[in-house]
């Protein structure tokens, strides 16, 4: 294993942080050209937050900051990209010239990756000349969104597993190579033990795990032959027993012990179909009766936090879980209603009142109080306010340059997550909605500011 700091790696194949400024919604470019034409060069502040938690969730776990900062440091319009825009016909030569010199020169504040966050709380704020802040919207939202979606799901799986091993098996079902890397990274950040994704191992220094596939068993003339060959080559391996019949497979492993004696080094069997709880009990009994008390049971097959909790409720003697598809796509909540909203332009707080989508004006901060080591309520207020508790947003980039807090390693983010999850109030740790949601208050000053602004005749004045 060679841990590498994802925050400082250049984008590679299967790229996470591409640095291509053209990954943007078209309107960002047309608006940017309009700002340029209108001479609007004021500084803008945009904040990222999500509007509400998915139905069955009690919290989210922030992630995705590292690739955002990578992007902001490297974002450029290449000659090919400018040529594409020229042929498009919507853009002037003056604007295209401007794009050739485009750099991100702004400031960023953000909550550290691995921090528990709630609806309405700013996770990240970009402050920059409005053209810059506007052009990076799509990438910033995309990465904070998917990172947070993946880390939030993984945190639930890790909590449900209650100390048993959790390994990300989702590479084949994540939404692309990049998504698989994001999920592996987010799962590790949230406390999983590793991943089957070897590229994620290289990229992020995450421990990699693997067992064997049905195809390996099938390619041999007999299951026992496959077991014997694989075990001989890989002491400490995990043998997949369900290709033809799970308990027959377990008996095949026991038979291998009889034949190999002290040479037997199999560490675990893997169950991958059927009633996993019942099979795990039967498997444990067979193994124990044969004296193989050291051989563990690893389970996979459509697992998620709900399935794991149910297996544990049924006291299934399972030592570790391979969690694939449902983690990889965050199946029960594959998206968050996340936005990147203008809260200040040229020193003036801005807001919006679109039906059901109220936006509080101005630059904000979140303060978190704790009591006896547990989170005890958050306040969202104006950035300059004095409030009790720890402020969550911290400067991570200044004038386009990363600050020390923007260089947190993945190991540090994992530690942040561990501490943040340990501080969750008990009622929020369960899989079902807490009787009372966590208290997140909007400060008096911030409420007053919105009220004052929305009384002012801004719209169609």
Looking at residues 178 to 207 of the shown chain, list those that interact with a second copy (rule: CB under 8 A).
178-180, 182, 196-199, 201-202
Query: What's the closest the beta carbon of residue 107 comes to a second copy, in angstroms?
Result: 17
What the block records as the tokens of 311 is: 């297996």
Smallest CA-to-CA distance from 246 within 204, 282, 290 is with 282
Q: How far apart (Å, rounded) are the C-alpha atoms in residues 27 and 305? A: 39
Query: What's the closest the beta carbon of residue 394 comes to a second copy, in angstroms?
Result: 24
Smallest CA-to-CA distance from 207 within 412, 450, 449, 410 is with 410
Under the binding rule (CB under 8 A), the answer on residue 439 touching a second copy is no
What the block records as the tokens of 300 is: 């996979």
Q: How far apart (Å, rounded) are the C-alpha atoms in residues 353 and 333? A: 26
Under the binding rule (CB under 8 A), the answer on residue 35 touching a second copy is yes
Under the binding rule (CB under 8 A), the answer on residue 456 touching a second copy is no
Query: What's the closest the beta carbon of residue 367 comes to a second copy, in angstroms?
Result: 26
**Span from 286-294, 304-312, 419-427, 452-460 in contact with a second copy (CB under 8 A):** 452-460
Under the binding rule (CB under 8 A), the answer on residue 444 touching a second copy is no
Under the binding rule (CB under 8 A), the answer on residue 397 touching a second copy is no
Under the binding rule (CB under 8 A), the answer on residue 258 touching a second copy is no
Q: At what angle do helices 65-74 and 137-161 cross, to 10 degrees?
A: 160
Nearer to a second copy, 209 or 367 (CB): 209
Q: How far apart (Å, rounded) are the C-alpha atoms in residues 193 and 187? A: 8
Q: How far apart (Å, rounded) are the C-alpha atoms in residues 158 and 190? A: 7
Under the binding rule (CB under 8 A), the answer on residue 45 touching a second copy is no
Candidates 112, 252, 320, 406; binder of a second copy (CB under 8 A) is 252
Under the binding rule (CB under 8 A), the answer on residue 91 touching a second copy is no
Query: What's the closest the beta carbon of residue 83 comes to a second copy, in angstroms?
Result: 9
Nearer to a second copy, 139 or 367 (CB): 139
Contact string 60-89 vs a second copy (x = CB under 8 A): --------------------xx--xx-xx-
Under the binding rule (CB under 8 A), the answer on residue 16 touching a second copy is yes
Nearer to a second copy, 299 or 428 (CB): 299
Q: Residues 41, 98: contact at Cβ < 8 Å?
A: no
Q: At what angle do helices 177-189 and 137-161 cross, to 10 degrees?
A: 50
**Per-position DSSP letters for 86-104, written without gaps between them:** HHHSSS-HHHHHHHHT---
Q: How far apart (Å, rounded) are the C-alpha atoms in residues 108 and 121? A: 16
Under the binding rule (CB under 8 A), the answer on residue 229 touching a second copy is yes
Under the binding rule (CB under 8 A), the answer on residue 372 touching a second copy is no
Please state, as a whole number, how many other Cβ atoms lie within 10 Å of the Cβ of residue 326: 19
Nearer to a second copy, 203 or 284 (CB): 203
Under the binding rule (CB under 8 A), the answer on residue 242 touching a second copy is yes
Question: Where in 126-145 is the site for a second copy (CB under 8 A)?
Answer: 130, 134, 137-139, 141-143, 145
Nearer to a second copy, 334 or 391 (CB): 334
Which residues are 167's β-sheet partners? 194, 322
**Long-range contacts of range 294-298, CB-CB < 8 Å, 24 or more positions apart?**
294/267, 295/253, 295/266, 295/267, 295/268, 295/269, 296/238, 296/267, 296/268, 296/269, 296/320, 297/268, 297/269, 297/270, 297/271, 298/165, 298/211, 298/238, 298/268, 298/269, 298/270, 298/271, 298/322
What the block records as the tokens of 443 is: 């400060």
Question: Where in 331-350 is the site for a second copy (CB under 8 A)?
Answer: 331, 334-335, 337-338, 340-342, 345-346, 350
Under the binding rule (CB under 8 A), the answer on residue 282 touching a second copy is no
Query: What's the closest the beta carbon of residue 260 comes to a second copy, in angstroms?
Result: 16
Nearer to a second copy, 93 or 459 (CB): 459
Under the binding rule (CB under 8 A), the answer on residue 169 touching a second copy is yes
**Span from 38-46, 284-292, 313-321, 378-386 in contact with a second copy (CB under 8 A):** 38-46
Size of the site for a second copy (CB under 8 A): 129
Candidates 272, 304, 305, 378; binder of a second copy (CB under 8 A) is 272
Query: What's the closest the beta carbon of residue 328 comes to a second copy, in angstroms?
Result: 7
21-52: b (≥16 Cβ within 10 Å) or e: bbebeeebbebbbebbeeebeebbbbbbbbee
Under the binding rule (CB under 8 A), the answer on residue 369 touching a second copy is no
Angle ∠(385,390,395) on CA atoms, nearest 5: 75
**Span from 97-105, 242-250, 291-299, 389-397 in contact with a second copy (CB under 8 A):** 242-250
Dihedrals φ, ψ of 149, to 5°? -60, -45
Under the binding rule (CB under 8 A), the answer on residue 119 touching a second copy is no
DSSP state of 68: H
Query: What's the closest the beta carbon of residue 184 comes to a second copy, in angstroms?
Result: 11
**Span from 13-21, 290-298, 310-318, 394-402 in contact with a second copy (CB under 8 A):** 13-21
């Amino acid at each position: 294993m060679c841990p590498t700091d994802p925050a400082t790696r250049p984008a590679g194949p299967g790229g996470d942080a591409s640095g291509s400024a053209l990954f943007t919604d078209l309107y960002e470019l047309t608006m940017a050209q309009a700002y340029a034409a209108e001479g609007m060069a004021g500084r803008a502040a945009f904040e990222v937050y999500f509007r509400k938690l998915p139905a069955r969730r009690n919290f989210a776990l922030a992630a995705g900051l590292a690739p955002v900062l990578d992007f902001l440091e490297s974002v450029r319009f290449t000659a090919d990209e400018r040529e594409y825009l020229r042929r498009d016909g919507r853009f002037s030569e003056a604007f295209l010239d401007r794009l050739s010199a485009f750099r991100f020169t702004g400031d960023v504040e953000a909550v550290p990756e691995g921090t528990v966050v709630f609806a309405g709380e700013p996770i990240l704020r970009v402050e920059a000349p409005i053209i810059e802040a506007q052009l990076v919207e799509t990438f910033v939202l995309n990465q904070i969104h998917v990172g947070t979606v993946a880390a939030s799901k993984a945190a639930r799986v890790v909590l449900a597993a209650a100390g048993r091993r959790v390994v990300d098996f989702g590479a084949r079902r994540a939404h692309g190579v990049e998504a698989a890397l994001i999920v592996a990274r987010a799962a590790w950040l949230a406390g999983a033990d590793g991943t089957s994704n070897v590229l994620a191992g290289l990229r992020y220094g995450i421990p990699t795990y693997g067992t064997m596939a049905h195809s390996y068993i099938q390619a041999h003339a007999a299951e026992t032959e496959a077991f014997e060959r694989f075990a001989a080559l890989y002491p400490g391996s995990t043998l997949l027993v369900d290709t033809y019949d799970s308990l027959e497979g377990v008996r095949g492993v026991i038979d291998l012990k009889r034949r190999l004696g002290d040479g037997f080094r199999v560490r675990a069997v893997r169950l991958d179909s059927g009633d996993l709880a019942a099979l795990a009990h039967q498997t444990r009994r067979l193994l124990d009766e044969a004296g193989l008390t050291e051989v563990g049971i690893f389970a996979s097959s459509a697992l998620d936090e709900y399935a794991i909790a149910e297996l544990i409720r049924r006291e299934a003697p399972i030592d570790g879980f391979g969690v694939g598809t449902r983690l990889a796509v965050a199946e029960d909540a594959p998206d968050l209603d996340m936005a990147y909203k203008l809260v200040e332009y040229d020193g003036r707080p801005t807001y919006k009142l679109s039906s059901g989508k109220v936006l509080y004006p101005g630059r904000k901060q979140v303060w978190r109080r704790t009591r006896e080591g547990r989170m005890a309520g958050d306040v969202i207020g104006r950035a300059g306010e004095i409030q009790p508790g720890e402020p969550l947003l911290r400067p991570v980039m200044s004038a386009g340059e990363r600050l020390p807090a923007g260089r947190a390693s993945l190991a540090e983010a994992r530690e942040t997550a561990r501490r943040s999850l340990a501080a969750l109030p008990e009622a929020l740790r369960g899989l079902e909605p807490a009787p009372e949601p966590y208290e997140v208050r909007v400060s008096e000053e911030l409420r007053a500011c919105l009220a004052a602004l929305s009384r002012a005749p801004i719209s169609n004045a």
